[in-house]
Structure 1
Amino acid sequence: MSDSWPDGADETARLVNLWEQHMSRRFTPRHGLLPSNAVQIWTFAHHAARLSRAVITLHEAGHDLEAMPLIRQTLECAMNAAWLLVTETGGPALSAVDTKNRRVMYREVTELGMADLSEVLKRVEREEVRDAETVTHTRSFEERCRAVSGGRHIYAMWRTLSLYSHATSSIADVYLESVPVTLEAPLGVAMLLEADWDQADTWMRVQALMLLLAQIAADDAQAKPVHRTQLARARKRLGVTWQIRPADAD
């Protein structure tokens, strides 16, 4: 990313403020957009804005590495919103995936004796059967990314974010520094109290881009887009020409 780009934290804050201006307005889905798609697009965009507030707070406190899981979730919200905009039955499909995950969780909790969720489990299983009869497809997050124009590049960013969103050796590495082997450092490493992390600016720019994508999806889902001009300006500032469309339209 070019050093001539605007500050990612500033752009994120501008987009959060833009969304908060929109929150009090009535959301009217565009004609032909499935209600379940429209509702989830709005909620994902809204959560992306709230996540962005949290990321800014962490950034200002110098906790940029700790913000990586939130940036990752913002990316997920943005890509899901974009996918829902271009996938007719996306809303029911995402709900079906959630039903399956809840069923697995309820069964695990019940079998381990942590709580008796058997009655809830029965209802979820019946719901899953109905989903199987009505939902024609479900997709993994990777498949959803690949179904949207430009989504493969965003999925690659998601993979990078994932390295720093779980307890992996990538996390351990940023708290270690190579030093000569001595009696005081027999392993040849020193432990760092502060992470050796110099990617804050890059990932704050990614945060701004993902919030922008989520808001484009929400605006495009409106019967009468309310922020088309402001989002066009944000595109220009951030150096992208994004138009949400299916990957097969490229």
Structure 2
Amino acid sequence: MGDAWPDGADETARLVNLWEQHMSRRFTPRSGLHPSNAIQIWTFAHHAARLSRAVLTLHEAGHDLEAMPLIRQTLECAMNAAWLLVTDSGGAALSAVDTKSRRVMYREVTELGLADLSEILRRVEQEEARDAETVTRTRSFEERCRAVSGGRHIYAMWRTLSLYSHATSSVADVYLETVRESEDAPLGVAMLLNADWDQGATWMRVQALMLLLAQIAADDAQAKPTHRTQLARARRRLGVTWEVRRTQSDPQ
């Protein structure tokens, strides 16, 4: 989209205001959308807007690198919302994955003697057993992305964001500068107090796009979508023609 792109921070702020002032106020799921799917679509879109507020705060303070984990989570919220819109059993599947994760956490805490969660663990294990069939059908995040049209490109963004969302050498590198070896710099590097990071504008554009995707999914999930005009304008400003639909080769 190059130089023609509008400012990502401005577009993110517009979409946050649209959500907070209008889109979050009423949610009536469309006929045929599973209640679990509908609830999670709304909550993911809502959290994407709240994350965007935090990203804007960090951006305005010059902390764009520090915002990367929040942009990554916004992307996850947006893609999960889109996937839930086109996957009948998606809501139950995501809930089953969460049950499995809680079971692992409760077992670890109990075995380490940090707390006796054995009774809670027993109930979660029973819940997981009931959901066993759902768990086997649950897709990884990559598979969810691939199931949505255009999702492979978004997954590539997620992989890049992941490099800067954990304690990796990629994060360490932005605080280093190659210099001539000397007594003061025997390793040939200088430590930087402020990260050498000039990608803030690019990732703010991604933030705007992910918030837009989350809101498109939430509006499409409504019995009577009411913000198509505003979201169509946002699409035009951001240079995309997105519609949430399943990849044709995906079997559901």
Q: Please classify the TM superposition score into its range, dividing by the shorter chain length.
A: over 0.9
1:79-98 deviation line (CA, Å, top 9, x unaligned) = 00000000000000000000
Q: Pairwise mapping of residues 226-245 of structure 1 onto structure 2 (< 5 A)?
A: 226-245=226-245
Structure 2 distance, partners of 1:133, 1:15, is 38
1:135 to partner: Cα distance: 5.9
User: How much is the aligned-residue C-alpha RMSD, in angstroms?
Assistant: 1.2
| 2:213 aligned residue | 213
1:103-158 deviation line (CA, Å, top 9, x unaligned) = 00100111011111100000000000111145661011001001000000000000
Secondary structure of 2:177's partner?
strand
Structure 1 distance, partners of 2:35, 2:112, is 38
Structure 2 distance, partners of 1:22, 1:221, is 15
1:110 partner letter: T
Structure 2 distance, partners of 1:243, 1:24, is 20
| 2:130 aligned residue | 130
Structure 1 distance, partners of 2:10, 2:54, is 14
Structure 1 distance, partners of 2:182, 2:136, is 63
1:21 to partner: Cα distance: 1.6
Which stretch of the first structure deviates more once superposed, 20-29 or 69-78?
20-29
Secondary structure of 1:10's partner?
helix
| 1:27 aligned residue | 27
Unaligned runs of 5+ in 2: none
1:38 aligns with 2:44: no
Q: Kindly, what percent of the aligned residue pairs are identical?
A: 86
1:26 partner letter: R
- The count of aligned residue pairs is 250
Structure 1 distance, partners of 2:43, 2:28, is 13
1:3 to partner: Cα distance: 1.4
Structure 2 distance, partners of 1:64, 1:173, is 15
Structure 2 distance, partners of 1:133, 1:53, is 38
1:67 aligns with 2:86: no
Secondary structure of 2:3's partner?
coil
| 1:180 aligned residue | 180
Unaligned runs of 5+ in 1: none
After the TM superposition, list the runs of 4 or more consecutive aligned residues in structure 1 that deviate by more than 6 angstroms.
none
Contact 1:149 1:249 in 2 (8 A): no
1:8-42 deviation line (CA, Å, top 9, x unaligned) = 00000000000012256321000000000000000
1:149 partner letter: S
Secondary structure of 2:2's partner?
coil
Secondary structure of 1:248's partner?
coil
Contact 1:15 1:212 in 2 (8 A): yes
2:124 partner letter: V
1:53-90 deviation line (CA, Å, top 9, x unaligned) = 00000000000000000000000000000000000000
| 1:111 aligned residue | 111
Secondary structure of 1:75's partner?
helix
2:58 partner letter: L
| 1:202 aligned residue | 202
